[in-house]
Structure 1
Amino acid sequence: MTTAKIGGSTGRILVVGGYGSVGATVTSTLDTWFPGRVIPGGRDEARARQSGGVRVDVSDTDDFREVLDGLGDVAVIVLCVEPPDAGAARICLERGIHLVDVGATRRRLDAVAELNDLAVDAGATALLSVGVAPGLTNLLARRAHDAVDGARSLRLTVLLGSGERHGVDAVRWTVEGLAEPATAPPERAALPGFGTRTAHQFPFSDQHTLPHTLGVPDVTTRLCLDSRPLTGMLFALRRAGLLRVARRPGARRMLTGLFRRIHTGGDAFAVRADARNGDRHAAYGLSGRAQSRVSGLVAAYVARELMGGTLPAGVHHIEQLPVLDGLLEWLGSHGVATLRLDRRADSGSGAHGHRKET
């Protein structure tokens, strides 16, 4: 297996979107590990300069190439923004630069995955599904899958805090997801710290990735918010088809602006993975606060591993590299004090109930 050529003790890290809600955590965390070698960047030149970084626009491939030419010694790039396509990823990989992609759009992640041969030839590594969902959901799914000796079905449940302030890309992605009709019925699940909630199918990319990476034929991801009334209202509007208007650019921008002003809950979140294989069932759950911060910590951890230069070259989703499995315990003991990991595995049991794993 080819390993990445760049990394180790040399090179710098460019964090695109490095002053945003996720990127600021990536930048500050990596700077504690690699002092003076982390460069925040983004399209807002004033904010980029104020944070000690550079202006960079990954949607403009010529601009992106110019910035990389000017910086010269970039070893890892962390994308905390959603480019319109896989062009930025291609530029990174063809130059042999490692990539951490915090994006969540299935279409673009699939396009980056198609660059695997390019990455292998260049000796570069790209890590996808890096965040909370996708990301922590993928890692929990992997554990639950292994606990039942190969799941035949996976049910992922995500609860997000509706009071947290998210970046424009994250809110726009949520609006786009609400415009899509459900493909599976709602289900109730016990979420650590929140009790039993009703969650609704939502187009998270993990449910499309995991059938390929884990070989599980049946995967569904559902979403609810910490605010029960807001959850009920949003998904009632979706059932009525009233949010399909968000498929139009103008309406999408309007709804994105509106949703960014809604802060009716807290900042806590929870994720859970239920795996089944015949009468065997395993459930892993994890909860914490400040989803954006935790997404940033996940991305920073992965970038640090890439800087070690020992990960296999190619394009991988986070659950495909066993060395990253320790991320769950690392989160529990570094900087996210309220995060906890729960597990239950048994035969023929229902979907509720957890015990604390030590």
Structure 2
Amino acid sequence: MTTVNSRTTGRVLVVGGYGAVGSTVTDTLAEWLPGHVVPAGRDEVKARRLGGVRVDVGDPDGFREVLDELGDVSVVALCVEPEDAGLARICLERGIHLVDVGATHRLLDEVTSLHEMAAGAGATAVLSVGVAPGLTNLLARRVNDAVGGAERIDLTVLLGAGERHGTDAVRWTVAGLGEPVTARARRVPLPGFGVRTAHPFPFSDQHTLRRTLGVPEVTTRLCLDSRSLTASLFTLRRTGLLRGARGARQQQLLTRVFSRVHLGGDGFAVRADAYRGERHATLSLTGKGQSRATSLVAAHVVRTLFMQDVPAGVHHLDQMAALADLPEQLAAHGITAAD
């Protein structure tokens, strides 16, 4: 396996550096790596005000020009989700590390297909960076190891409905309600929230982990801290009104409502259960602020790529040995393990 030497020079370009996730990534890295962080975004006035540059993820030629102008970018943190893997390709072919907080399974697969190219260029991309995917991947690896190779893994995610998420995150969640599912809802005890009904949801981790861990059956389920809102949303999903082309307008309306109405708190919980025969292992994490947690995970990954030797190629978070102790590192930020 090719290993990339640590880089303590160069700069980190945070694309989406003043958004819901990117602003915390920028601020955190500015403390850890002073003088090395450049925020970027579509609004040139905001970007310049923060000492950054303008980047539009829909303009790959413009992105190349920015990399050329800066000249010494060693890591790109992609905190907004582009339409395709074009920006990832541009980074990796130049030997620039990439940290991608994207959560769409199709896009993650597209970036994963660049593994050989990245390895040949001496670059590393880390995917599944956040809470789900992300922390769920790390918990899944641990419970899988605890049972000696799971036959089935169940992941459960509870999100605070009162948190103010970015528009992209809200739109992604609403779109997920329009996708068909086959698994059943499950009653799950979650630390700090009691027993909740969690519903199958198309998080990318359940697809990724079947490959990275070799587990034949992985299902991720979602609930919100508001029981009534959880019930309403998944009742709406069962009607089929959010599916297909006819559901596009309903999804737009629901996205606007979610962006303005905040019912509940900002706590979150993730739980992983692994089963092999009669063996069962479970682990949970809880914290405040899912967007903040995603940002902290991303910042830790960036710092690792910037400072340590890492394997070249495209890897998901659960495949990075250098980040295996990330849950323990996050305890300092109030994200803690729970029974």
TM-score by structure 1 length? Answer: 0.92
Q: Which residue of structure 2 aligns with residue 69 of structure 1?
A: 68
Letter paired with 1:213: T
Answering whether residue 178 of structure 2 is matched by residue 182 of structure 1, we say no
Q: Which residue of structure 2 aligns with residue 8 of structure 1?
A: 7
Q: Deviation of residue 199 (structure 1)?
A: 0.2
Answering whether residue 80 of structure 2 is matched by residue 81 of structure 1, we say yes
Q: Deviation of residue 183 (structure 1)?
A: 1.7
Is the contact made by 2:242 and 2:251 (CA closer than 8 Å) also made in structure 1? no
Q: Deviation of residue 256 (structure 1)?
A: 1.8
Q: Which residue of structure 1 aligns with residue 283 of structure 2?
A: 284
C-alpha separation in 2, matches of 1:293 and 1:286: 14
C-alpha separation in 2, matches of 1:67 and 1:250: 36
Rate the CA distance shift 1:67–1:331 in 2: closer, same or farther, 3 A.
same
Letter paired with 1:316: H
Q: Deviation of residue 309 (structure 1)?
A: 4.2
C-alpha separation in 2, matches of 1:203 and 1:255: 18
Answering whether residue 193 of structure 2 is matched by residue 199 of structure 1, we say no
Q: Deviation of residue 192 (structure 1)?
A: 1.1
Q: Deviation of residue 311 (structure 1)?
A: 0.5
Rate the CA distance shift 1:286–1:36 in 2: closer, same or farther, 3 A.
same
Structural mapping, 1:17-56, within 5 Å = 17-56=16-55
Count matched residues: 339
Q: Tell me how large the CA RMSD over aligned residues is.
A: 1.3
Of 21-30 and 152-161, deviating more is 21-30
Q: Deviation of residue 252 (structure 1)?
A: 3.5
C-alpha separation in 1, matches of 2:155 and 2:161: 19
Of 106-115 and 182-191, deviating more is 182-191
Structural mapping, 1:17-166, within 5 Å = 17-166=16-165
Q: Deviation of residue 179 (structure 1)?
A: 0.7
Q: Which residue of structure 1 aligns with residue 235 of structure 2?
A: 236
Answering whether residue 284 of structure 2 is matched by residue 257 of structure 1, we say no
Tell me, what secondary structure is at the counterpart of 1:303? Answer: helix
Is the contact made by 2:178 and 2:247 (CA closer than 8 Å) also made in structure 1? no
Q: Which residue of structure 1 aligns with residue 336 of structure 2?
A: 340
Is the contact made by 2:201 and 2:220 (CA closer than 8 Å) also made in structure 1? yes
C-alpha separation in 2, matches of 1:2 and 1:57: 32
C-alpha separation in 2, matches of 1:10 and 1:234: 48
C-alpha separation in 1, matches of 2:296 and 2:45: 25
Point out where structure 1 has 5 or more consecutive residues left out of the alignment: 343-353
Can you list the C-alpha shifts for 1:68-93, whole angstroms capped at 9, x where unaligned?
11111000000000000000000000
Is the contact made by 1:40 and 1:48 (CA closer than 8 Å) also made in structure 2? yes
Point out where structure 2 has 5 or more consecutive residues left out of the alignment: none
Identity over the aligned pairs, expressed in percent? 65
Rate the CA distance shift 1:246–1:272 in 2: closer, same or farther, 3 A.
farther
Can you list the C-alpha shifts for 1:292-339, whole angstroms capped at 9, x where unaligned?
011000000000000024000000000011221111001012xx23x2
Rate the CA distance shift 1:127–1:71 in 2: closer, same or farther, 3 A.
same
Rate the CA distance shift 1:211–1:260 in 2: closer, same or farther, 3 A.
same
Rate the CA distance shift 1:191–1:68 in 2: closer, same or farther, 3 A.
same
Letter paired with 1:260: S
C-alpha separation in 1, matches of 2:251 and 2:58: 19
Is the contact made by 1:179 and 1:247 (CA closer than 8 Å) also made in structure 2? no
Is the contact made by 2:144 and 2:150 (CA closer than 8 Å) also made in structure 1? yes
Of 308-317 and 105-114, deviating more is 308-317
Is the contact made by 1:61 and 1:88 (CA closer than 8 Å) also made in structure 2? yes
Q: Deviation of residue 255 (structure 1)?
A: 2.6
TM-score by structure 2 length? Answer: 0.97
Is the contact made by 1:179 and 1:246 (CA closer than 8 Å) also made in structure 2? no
Is the contact made by 2:266 and 2:288 (CA closer than 8 Å) also made in structure 1? yes
Tell me, what secondary structure is at the counterpart of 1:244? Answer: coil
Letter paired with 2:4: A
Is the contact made by 2:242 and 2:248 (CA closer than 8 Å) also made in structure 1? no
Tell me, what secondary structure is at the counterpart of 1:260? Answer: helix
Can you list the C-alpha shifts for 1:200-247, whole angstroms capped at 9, x where unaligned?
000000000000000000000000000000000000000111222677
